[in-house]
Amino acid sequence: MTTSRDPQNKGNHPPLLPGERQGVRPGVWLALLLTALFIAAEAVVMYWRGPSVMVLVPLALLVVWLFYTRLETGLLLIALLTPFAINMDLMPGMELSMPVEPMMILFSAFFLFRVLATRGLTPSPSPRRRGGQNATDQGIHSPLLSGEGSGVRLLTHPVTLLLLAGLAWWVVTSCTSRLPWVSFKYLIARLWFVIPFYFAAAHFFRNRQRIGQFFWAYAIGLGVVILIATSKTLGNFSDLQTLHRVMRPFYNDHTAYGCAIALMLPAAVHFALKPVGSLRAVAASGSAATDAARRVPTIILIALLLVGLFFSYCRAAWISVVAALGVYILIRMGMKVKWMVVLFGLGVGLFFVYQSDVLYRLGKNHQDSSYTLADQVKSISNISTDASNVERLNRWASAMRLWKESPVFGIGPGTYQFIYGSYQKSYQLSTISTNSGNLGNAHSEYIGPMTEQGLPGVLLVAALFLTTFATGVRVYRTAKDPAVGRMALAFTLSLLTYYVHGVFNNFLDTDKLSVPFWAFTAAVVALDLHSEKKEAQ
């Protein structure tokens, strides 16, 4: 029995597995198996949704073929489609964001198979592509488990270790959960976000061009959604409730819509300002105007993002962009990350010392949300009559009461929205509160994990965010290639907008924000792992 390919093959095919016959690769069997599973799933859905869904079978088969032959392109396709995805009840008790979440599940299966079975990520090229393509076209061979330096370095990177520790703690708290079935479903859903857009993306992003391609894939989809939402805005400038719904059905809430736009803005500015080509390429083109013309799409994108950010009327998104700008100034001034942390801790400490005076002054603000910019900004600090702010405080207070009952293990991932209703106090209810408490999560990326996963949960989240931020700043300051440093800083500031926004909302349980968030985190890690550093002075 042959156990290796022909020596003349020169690495175009992955090695044969034990028991595999020449010419029959395990990926073929995986493709057939997944195709059968997709057809079976379509049959089940057809039972609940009717025969019209059968038209999706050819598309499903096409996706299977794409993931088998071009896994990286499949990742870009998911990113492009994510802004257009719509939540659908496929059957009782099962809601998915269509079509991207089934694609994420399929992508995760292909990726894990290639890592565990073929011990590599390189798809076998078709005969017509064989022999003349570089590593970028054929795929990236960087197995996680083969012992090669790249995979080991990724698995031992501090960001990865904290992510894995967080997932391990999720397993523990799911076992101790008040609703274990809900918690384990929540954990599985998180895995199909993290596997494609962190672990797979970190491999693909070894090639920096892939980072830009991913950014543009998501940005194009988001740009189209902004155009649609803005067109609905015209003629409704004085109706705030309409302005909060114009992004539907693509984004269920104006805060998620604004958060996604803010997340993309710093990276978009980077791509607008970076040199498009080398001086030699510009000279060869005959005019520097050619180089400038290539910036036009990015400038148009920035204009769309700014328009979308304004008409999102999301105050948390506005705050996050201002915060990112302030941190950028501190970084340019040369302030070290540890002093930024000290400065932030000092600000939090002063708030608690003078919280009585601060809350008294905030309580005197009665400016509600408004369609005018000045009034909307003023309403940010209204904690007495603004329904959104009062409801957020109600959620936080309910979360703290739940946390006090289970301070170490929490109540279980994903369970807050099913439990918090009975922990509300009548004097804290807002005009949009419900007695049953069925309006969603804890509205915080920090308070939510603390309630559901205990104190270790929120500490792991904070450590992950801080370590990613510190990694990005370090790459910016130590990368030998200034272009690498600028890119790392841009994506770090993009992530920072979410870290700040996470104080007021949490969206990492949705595809709309998880896709760019984990991909941008993978970009920062990949730039750290694969960039040449300056020599120590």
In a domain, 220, yes or no: yes
Whether 496 maps to a domain, the answer reads yes
**Pair 79, 186 in one domain:** no
Report, in this order, helix, strand and coil percent for the chain, each rounded to 5: 70, 0, 30
102/229 same-domain check: no
pLDDT the model gives residue 119: 59
pLDDT-derived band of residue 243, with 50, 70 and 90 as boundaries? confident
In this prediction, residue 275 carries a pLDDT of 67
pTM comes to 0.83
d(CA 498, CA 492): 10
pLDDT at position 36 is 64
Q: Which of 25-34, 122-131, 365-374 has the highest mean pLDDT?
A: 365-374
Question: Which among 10-19, 23-32, 145-154, 162-171 has the top mean pLDDT?
Answer: 162-171
Does the pLDDT value for residue 29 go beyond 90? no
For the CA atoms of 245, 250, 255, 259, the dihedral, rounded to the nearest 10 degrees, stands at: -150
Q: Is residue 431 part of a domain?
A: no
> At 94, which helix (H) or strand (E)?
strand 94-98
Query: Can you give the pLDDT at residue 66?
Result: 84
pLDDT confidence of 360, banded at 50, 70, 90?
Answer: low
**pLDDT tens across 460-469, in order?**
999 999 999 9
CA angle 257, 263, 267 (to 5 degrees): 135
| pLDDT score at 89 | 77
Does the structure show a pLDDT above 50 at 86? yes
Closest alpha carbon to 259 in 215, 212, 319: 319
> Looking at the predicted structure, is the pLDDT value of residue 148 above 90?
no
What is the token pair recorded at 353?
């010392």
Q: Residue 441's pLDDT is what?
A: 85
Express as a percent the part of the chain with pLDDT over 70. 72
Rounded mean pLDDT of 358-378?
67
Packing angle between helix 355-363 and helix 337-353, nearest 10 degrees? Answer: 70
Same domain? 205 vs 266? yes
Q: Is the peptide bond before 83 cis (omega within 30 degrees of 0)?
A: no
Residues 73-95 have a mean pLDDT of 85
User: Mean pLDDT over residues 43-62, rounded?
Assistant: 62
Whole-number pLDDT of residue 531: 87
- In whole angstroms, give the CA distance from residue 304 to residue 411: 41
**Quick one: tokens of 312?**
């999102």
Q: Which residue has the higher pLDDT, 248 or 175?
A: 175
Which DSSP letter does residue 205 get? T
Determine which helix (DSSP H) or strand (DSSP E) holds 97, and give its type and residue range.
strand 94-98
Among 175, 183, 178, 256, residue whose Cα is nearest residue 222: 256
Q: Report which listed range, 111-115, 348-352, 485-489, 505-509, is most confident.
A: 485-489
Same domain, 274 and 342: yes
Residues 189 and 306 in one domain: yes
> Position of tokens 């960001």?
159
Q: Which residues contact 358 (CB under 8 A, 6 or more apart)?
A: 351
- 264 pLDDT exceeds 90? yes
Q: Is 10 part of a structural domain of the chain?
A: no
Q: Say how far apart CA 395 and CA 389 lie, in whole Å.
A: 10
Find residue 89's DSSP bridge partners: 95
Q: Which residue has the higher pLDDT, 87 or 58?
A: 87
Quote the pLDDT of residue 281. Answer: 44
Report if residue 393 sits inside a domain.
no
| Domain contains 8 | no
Do 51 and 170 share a domain, yes or no? no
| Domain boundaries, position 31 | 27-117
Same domain, 169 and 106: no
Residue 7 has pLDDT above 50, yes or no: no
Q: What is the mean pLDDT of residues 77-84?
A: 92
Average pLDDT for the chain: 81
Grade residue 291 by pLDDT with cuts at 50, 70 and 90. low
- Boundary (domain end) residue, out of 77, 99, 117: 117
Rounded to the nearest 10°, the torsion over CA 2, 7, 13, 14 is 60
Orientation angle between helical segments 482-501 and 511-530, nearest 10 degrees = 150
Q: Average pLDDT of 254-281?
A: 82
Whether 38 has a pLDDT exceeding 80, the answer reads no
Last residue of a domain, one of 102, 117, 132: 117
Range of weakest confidence among 22-26, 150-154, 471-475: 22-26
Question: Are 193 and 108 within one domain?
Answer: no
Residues 284 and 170 in one domain: yes
Both 96 and 220 in a single domain? Answer: no
- Give mean pLDDT, residues 84-94: 77
pLDDT at 241 (0 to 100): 72
Question: Is 117 in contact with 17 (CB distance < 8 Å)?
Answer: yes
Q: Are residues 56 and 185 in the same domain?
A: no
Instruction: Say if 486 falls within a structural domain.
Output: yes
Same domain for 235 and 91: no
What is the token pair recorded at 179? 């609703």
The residue length of the chain stands at 537
DSSP-derived letter for residue 479 is B
pLDDT computed for residue 285 by the predictor = 46
Q: Which residue has the tokens 């693509």?
A: 250
Q: pLDDT tens-digit profile of 448-464?
A: 999 999 999 999 999 99
Domain count, the chain: 2
Question: Closest Cα partner for 507 from 462, 441, 455?
Answer: 441
Last residue of a domain, one of 117, 144, 176: 117
The yes-or-no verdict on residue 392 having pLDDT over 50 is: yes
The average pLDDT across 494-508 equals: 94
